[in-house]
Structure 1
Amino acid sequence: MSFDGSFTHAMVNELNTLLQSGRITKIHQPYENEVIITFRANRKNYPVLLSAHPNYARVQITKIPYANPATPTNFAMMLRKYLDGAILNGIQQVENDRIINFSFSKRNELGDVEELLLAVEIMGRRSNIVLLNNSTKVILDTIKHINADQNRYRLLLPGATYITPPSQDKRNPFTDTSEAYVTAQNNYPNQEVLANELRKIYQGLNKDTSLELAHYLHQHNKPDAFKSFFAQFNQAQPTITTQKRKSNFTAFPYATIEGTQQHFETLSELLDAFYVAKAQRDRVIQKAGNLVHVVKNDLKKNRIKVKKLNQTLVNSEKADDYKIKGEILTTYLNQVKRGMTEITLPNYYDENRDIKILLSNQISPSQNAQKYFKKYQKAKNAVHYVSEQLAKTNQEIQYLDNIMTQIELANPQDLDEIREELEKEGYLKAKQTKRKQKRVQPSKPETFYSTDGTKISVGKNDTQNDRLTLKTAKKTDIWMHTQKIPGSHVIIHASEPSEQTLIQAATLAAYFSKAQDSAHVPVDYVPVKRVHKPNGAKPGFVIYEGQTTLIVDPDEKMVQELREQN
């Protein structure tokens, strides 16, 4: 389900209950399309996420940690200028549309009270966040600037007059008293057809909600059925319903959506759970920038190189043939005449069977023999060189494959160390700036606790992995890693962990690896003292011996449960 108008109605109710008369204490823009505004209300701090993301636009209170950029954006600075310390007057939804207006009061530099409005428009790729003067409707700034070339109906630029998105000329199901649904129900007894018709009549209904409404009207054939259906949005029972790998979130359990149900205390907690992986992955992709492009390009080049090197090895297998032809030509040199292009001679290496030898008519018989000896020597020399190059290139592929896995599994705050590592290894050019670059602060591995309370650390990049395994961990701690699969270093901070802890730590190792979506993943474990880093090895690369192997299935639910025990 998407964040439709009816779900927006329920969210506005929740936010008004928790944030009413709250004061803004912090404003950050950690990501390109998302703002975090912290409200202080009822002696509690509430970080509110306002997202204009093209796929995950929403408004909610969030508990997911975020990393602030070193330099605030222009939009964040504008919000701080006008809204820092402002008092929230109220939160309103525009009809049953996906537009939420936060109205504020704040005294300006002259001591006069200013009425300000922050409009969050949740409209897919057209989503936006607009700050405006509520009295004059003049736009102060927007998170996305939209000019006349992009939208002829309205400008979304500083100084322009704010115009709300065009009305769809539909009825608000929460206030409409026309009972238009009765006519639709009589004319369209089929539930799916009725759902389509209801979407044409009423504002803010997506496909899931309209199907649920059509089903409800058929099941509850009474005069107040329509009203009682929408009353459920005022008493939310936040639910995520999962069937196989598809999940849907709803303001209350929908009878028309089958699957395993998970319930939450608030709509915001529901959205945190639903979007934590999806939004995080997208944030990582955004922040990774050219990292993915560089790594993929280098992987492609090295894989092409491996193919060419392997072909060279195949060709070098003909070295012995060149040697035999050279020796046979030398033996029967008196039978070879200048100007010949080929000759067939007895092959005393293969039971005197005849062998056909190609010749150059431009050189002497002796030079033809020497030519075959030179080919033999060149092919023999190539075997040694190519074998070395093949080993190095395969190591390069292994390293880059591991980096790609780390990017895919990273949190946004882990990417700076990955970028710094690629710069040190020469894959990326270091940014040249006049000012001295700020040193990347070392990030810490993620910490989990098994059900018996044992601490487990998981490295998320090579810097973390090296530091965790080679410096932080005790020699008696247990080290884990997926067998021959790129992934995280996992440390159990105990010398003799329980079988349950071993299985849970192995599940973490499998989950934070390239085999995250696989089953029956082999995970090796040894005491840290048996793990060594070869001289000159690339970051994150270690060797080990005397391992024991566990076979586990990656389990996202278990990972989340262990994370919550922290």
Structure 2
Amino acid sequence: MSFDGLFTHAIVHELDQKLTTGRVAKVSQPYPAELIITIRAHRHNYPLLISANPTYPRIQITEIPYKNPAVPTNFTMTMRKYLEGAIVNKIEQVDNDRIIKITFDTRDELGDSQQLVLVSEIMARHSNISLVNLKTGKIIDTIKHVGSDQNRVRLLLPGATFVMPPKQDKVNPYLPNQVYSDLVRQTDDTVELSHQLQEHYQGFGKDSARELAAELLQSDNLPATYQHFLKHFENPEPVLITHSNGKTQFAVFPPLNIDGELQHFDSLSALLDAFYANKAEQDRSKELAGQVLKVLKNELKKDRRKVKKLQQQLQDAATADQYRICGEILTTYLSKLTPGMKEIELPNFYDDNKPLKIKLAPELSPSRNAQKYFTKYNKLKTSVEYVKEQLKLTNDEIKYFENIENQIKLAAPADIQEIKLELQEQGYIKKKKSGKKQRKVKVSAPEEFHTSDGTTVLVGKNNLQNDRLSFKIANKNEIWLHVKDIPGSHVVIRSTNPSEDTILEAAQLAAYFSKGRDSDNVPVDYLPVKRLHKPNGAKPGFVIFTGQKTLYVTPHKLSN
């Protein structure tokens, strides 16, 4: 079942029962298009997630942990100013549409009571969250600003009058009607009937329409069947359906024709947490990684262009002797040169006196022409060491950026924020200027796994975690692993004498968290932590070591 109008009806019913009369304790915006309002109600804190993410828009109570950015957005600060301490008056759905209104009772700066409405529109890429003053009808702020150049019908900007989305010319299924009865008389085909239900009723997704169509066509009492179907959304039995092909879908109640395994949940919010846990995390990571990936792409492009230029300079330096030879020949036959000459052919005494054409600058004297070749020779020879050093530094930087690209592919949102922080500290991303002193971001703990014999294995998910794991957390006699010669995570076995099976499993894990995760045979180095060394001034995550052993493994992820 999709997050359609009927599912919205059910989730609003659940939220209204749990949150109404509660007080807003905290407002957070951990991700660009998602707001979390923590509401204290019935002696319990409920983190209410309101998402305007274009891929996974929704509203629910969530128990999935999140990490706030170091600097709150302007929208977050506005929400905190107006909503913290406010009382939830009611939560309601607009008709049977995917629009939810949360009304808050609060007080303004003068202490006078006022009502604010938070409007959540769950409409794919048009999803939005708006805070509106109920008395004036003016928008206080929206999570996505929509100007007249984007939408001529509705202006969603602070200070503008809030206008609801245009209403559909469809029947609200919760109002008295006989439309379903008329439609059943017209067809006995489930697919056709489900299409007609979607055409005539407001808020019916494909799955909801198909389920009602199947029930109506098997019914002897259409009104009773129709009402029984709608009551499901006020007394839900939330289920997650896993099909034989591995795909999952959520539903307010078990469907008539079940094709797959059912997992039952106590609430719709818990169901959504289970369904979106991985999908939303991956999407959030991509969303947060947008700026980081753009920076990486630009830096890699510059570095690869620089490498080509440096390699060309080395090739030019390889021909430096030719400039010296030209200079020496010109010096030997200086008397044969006359001012204004553009070229001269002289015997090359380094090659059996074969004729050698030498280009000249007509504006220079004969001696200055000879000196010009010696100058170019000396410049090329002295530049070789510098060019080689720059080439090594540039190639190291390319490896560094490729390593971060690899980390992003398996990163959680918190990891992305730490990668962004790392790039800010390295000067690749500019820090936002703020009057307030930014609090120091605490690096999160490495991810923990367990081998088949119960041994703990820790994995760094970004370079800040890698450094902390290898030089702060790990003991010197524990075993450290890393894929050989390709980007990957630092991995530590929390044992000074692990079994061969444990080392093998940890090596498979190191291969999984590396650029070689799609290969069948990945070399992994392992050695005691005490043999690691970090050179002065080295970038985060960079280490050198000696005395390693190497295993060849197939990547595999262990259980947490």
Given the two structures, how large is their TM-score scaled by the length of structure 1? Answer: 0.76
Task: Report the CA distance shift for 1:334/1:147 in structure 2 as closer, same or farther (over 3 A).
Answer: closer
Retained in 2: the 8 A contact 1:28–1:68?
no
Asked whether the equivalents of residues 139 and 157 of structure 1 are also in contact (C-alpha less than 8 Å), the reply is no
CA deviation string 1:482-535 (max 9, x = no partner): 333333322221123356654554455445445567765544332212222123
Distance 1:432 1:483 in 2: 40
CA distance in 2 between counterparts of 1:203 and 1:499 reads: 62
Corresponding residue for residue 59 of structure 2: 59
Partner amino acid for 2:526?
Answer: Y
Alignment of 1:398-417 (within 5 A): 398-406=399-407, 410-414=411-415
Report the CA distance shift for 1:345/1:99 in structure 2 as closer, same or farther (over 3 A). same
Partner of 1:7: 7
1:82 paired to 2:86: yes
Q: Taking structure 1 as reference, are residues 450 and 358 closer, same or farther at Cα in structure 2, changes over 3 Å only?
A: same
Provide Cα deviations, 1:104-146, integer angstroms capped at 9, x if missing partner. Answer: 6789999999877544221234333455677x68568454486
Distance 2:434 2:46 in 1: 38
2:426 partner amino acid: E
Q: Which amino acid aligns with 1:94?
A: V
Change (3 A) 1:140 1:381: closer
Q: Aligned Cα RMSD in Å?
A: 4.7
Aligned residue for 1:170? 170
1:38 match: secondary structure: strand
How far off its partner does 1:414 sit? 4.9
Distance change (3 Å), C-alpha of 1:316 and 1:198: farther
Q: SS where residue 388 of structure 2 aligns?
A: helix
Distance 1:158 1:378 in 2: 62
For the pair 1:123 / 2:123, whether they are aligned, the reply is yes
Please point out which of 227, 232, 235 is paired with 2:237: 235
Worse-superposed segment, 527-536 or 357-366: 357-366
- Distance of 1:49 and 1:156 partners within structure 2: 21
Q: Which residue of 2 aligns with 1:539?
A: 540
Q: Secondary structure at the match of 1:73?
A: helix
What is aligned with 1:551?
553
User: How do 1:441-452 and structure 2 match up within 5 A?
Assistant: 441-450=441-450, 452=453
Q: Provide the C-alpha distance between the structure 2 equivalents of 1:359 and 1:341, rounded to a whole number of angstroms.
A: 4
1:147 CA displacement: 8.0
Taking the aligned partners of 1:415 and 1:20, their CA distance within structure 2 comes to 32
For residues 293-316 of structure 1, the C-alpha deviation after alignment (integer angstroms, 9 at most, x for no partner) is: 444333221111011111222333
Which letter maps to 1:237?
A: V
Cα distance, 1:197 vs. partner? 3.8
Shift of 1:543: 1.4
- Assess if the C-alpha contact under 8 Å between 1:242 and 1:248 holds in 2: no
Q: Is the 8 A contact 1:62 1:272 kept in 2?
A: yes
Q: Give me the whole-angstrom Cα distance separating, in 2, the residues matched to 1:13 and 1:523.
A: 54
Measured after TM superposition, the shift of residue 426 of structure 1 is 3.7
8 Å CA contact 1:450, 1:504 repeated in 2: no
Offset from partner CA, 1:247-288 (integer Å, 9 cap, x none) = 654446779998x86735244334334434454455556666
More displaced, 301-310 or 455-464?
Answer: 455-464
Q: Counterpart of 2:537 in 1: which secondary structure?
A: coil
Distance 1:347 1:115, change over 3 A: closer
Percent identity for Structure 1 against Structure 2? 44
Q: 1:510 to 1:168 in 2, by over 3 A?
A: farther
Structure 1 position 341 matched with structure 2 position 343? yes
Q: Deviations over 1:346-384 (max 9, x none)?
A: 8875xx695653443847888777665555444433433
- Match of 2:477, SS state, is coil
Aligned to 2:498: 497
Residue 205 of structure 1 corresponds to which residue in structure 2? 204
1:455-496 deviation per Cα after TM superposition (whole angstroms, max 9, x unaligned):
333333333322221122101222223333333322221123
1:24 maps to 23
Worse-superposed segment, 524-533 or 139-148 = 139-148
Q: TM-score, normalised by structure 2?
A: 0.77
- Distance of aligned partners of 1:340 and 1:121 in 2 relative to their CA distance in 1, 3 Å threshold: closer
The amino acid across from 1:165 in the alignment is: P
Aligned to 1:390: 391
Deviations 1:402-421 (A, max 9, x none): 34445665555556654554
Q: Distance in 2 between matches of 1:386 and 1:347?
A: 31
Tell me, in whole angstroms, the C-alpha distance in 2 between the residues paired with 1:157 and 1:211.
39
Moved more, 115-124 or 484-493: 115-124
For the residue of structure 2 that corresponds to 1:238, the secondary structure is strand
CA distance 1:515–1:186, shift in 2 (3 Å): farther
Matched residue type, 2:121: E
Does the 8 A contact of 1:521 with 1:552 survive in 2?
A: yes
1:473 maps onto 2:455 in alignment:
no
CA contact (8 A) 2:92 2:100 kept: yes
1:244-263 to structure 2, matched below 5 A, reads 248-251=249-252, 263=263
Higher mean alpha-carbon deviation, 220-229 vs 55-64, is at 220-229
Cα 1:358–1:16 change in 2 (3 A) is same
Query: CA 1:263–1:190 in structure 2 vs 1: closer, same or farther (change >3 Å)?
Result: closer
CA distance in 2, matches of 1:119, 1:364: 82
- Structure 1 equivalent of residue 458 of structure 2: 457
Aligned to 1:50: 50
CA contact (8 A) 2:303 2:398 kept: yes
**1:418-457 mapped onto 2 (5 Å cutoff):** 418=419, 421-428=422-429, 437-450=437-450, 452-457=453-458
Q: Which amino acid aligns with 2:35?
A: V
Partner Cα separation in structure 2 for residue 476 and residue 80 of structure 1: 50
Distance 1:117 1:539, change over 3 A: closer
Distance 1:42 1:424, change over 3 A: closer
CA distance 1:449–1:239, change in 2 (3 Å): same
Q: Spell out the pairing of 1:78-157 with structure 2 (5 A cutoff).
A: 78-83=82-87, 86=88, 91-102=91-102, 118-130=118-130, 138=137, 141-144=140-143, 149=148
Between the aligned partners of 1:255 and 1:303, the Cα distance in structure 2 is: 59
Q: Rate the CA distance shift 1:519–1:97 in 2: closer, same or farther, 3 A.
A: farther
Q: Is the 8 A contact 1:47 1:61 kept in 2?
A: yes
Question: CA distance change for structure 1 residues 267 and 353 in 2, over 3 Å: closer, same or farther?
Answer: farther
- Structure 1, unaligned runs of 5 or more: none
Partner SS for 2:86: helix
Task: Specify whether residues 544 and 56 from structure 1 end up closer, same or farther in structure 2 by C-alpha distance, changes over 3 A only.
Answer: same
**Per-residue deviation at 1:160?**
7.7
SS across alignment from 1:303: helix
SS at match of 1:395: helix
Name the CA distance, whole Å, in 2 between partners of 1:431 and 1:148: 25
- Per-residue Cα deviation, 1:75-119 (whole angstroms, up to 9, x for no partner): 122111422xx5x65x44333311234456789999999877544
Conservation of the 8 A alpha-carbon contact between 1:50 and 1:60: yes
Query: How many correspondences in the alignment?
Result: 544
